[in-house]
Each structure stands twice: as structure tokens, then as C-alpha cells.
Copies of this chain bind each other. A is one copy, B any other.
Amino acid sequence: MTIGGIPDHPAECAGINEVLARVGDKWSVLVVMLLRDGPRRFNQLKRDVAGISQHMLTLTLRGLERDGLVTRTVFPTIPPRVDYELTPLGHSLRAPVEALGKWALAHQSAIKAAQRSFDARKNA
């Protein structure tokens, strides 16, 4: 069986699910999007992501780095400085993610309406 031309046999399916899990985690996409205009420092990201704990920012950046989506550059100055920057692979992820974001934006009112309607029916 295939999914829209995408084979879903064990190996490929698992790979795709891993990617979807990364995209679906709470912060990865947001961080990728904030890096689209160039390198950012750790605390700069921490401020801009607004709401993320430094623990989760660290984990998110490690995950993205491990997947080859982000590079980590340490400047051995005092105080230390670390820049994070999208790799070409990271940049290539932006297009499909933005497509999904636009879908979300375009339909979020419809979704919320559906939720209200569903909840109303449930409470009846």
C-alpha cells in the first residue's frame, strides 16, 4: 500500500514518521522558522521563541543539529558565544512547513468552529 505515491512499508514509513514527529514536536518548527534569516545566538532564540524553557531549547537545538538541519558554532570568547544556523537541508524544510502553516492559518477558524460545534453536540 502506498500513501499518495509514498510507500509506507516498514522502513520508509518509519523514516517518514520520525520526520513528522520532529515537525510535530512543540518547538522544532518554530526554531527552524526563526533561523530562516540567518544565524542566531542561544539567548536570542530563547527570547524570540517566547515561552520555551532553556532546557527544551537545548534539546530542540541538539535534535535539529543531530538531524543535520542546524549547525552549531562555538566562538571561544569570554563570555562564550554560540551561533545556530540552518543548513541547506534545514532551509529546504521551510517550504513544506510553511505550506502546512498556511493551511493552518487558512483553516483555523473553520477548525475552531468545528470544535465548538462538536463540543456543543457532545454536551447535549
Chain A residues close to B by CB (< 8 Å): 1, 3-6, 8, 12, 15-26, 29-30, 33-34, 36, 48, 65-68, 89, 92-105, 107-108, 110-115, 117-119
Contact = CB atoms under 8 A, between A and B. Distances in A.
Most central of A16, A20, A95 by chain B CB within 10 Å: A20
B100 A96 contact: yes
Stoichiometry (number of copies): 2
B20 A66 contact: no
A40 to B, nearest CB: 12
B101 A92 contact: no
Contacts of A30: 3, 8, 17
Nearest to A48: B1
A100 B3 CA distance: 12
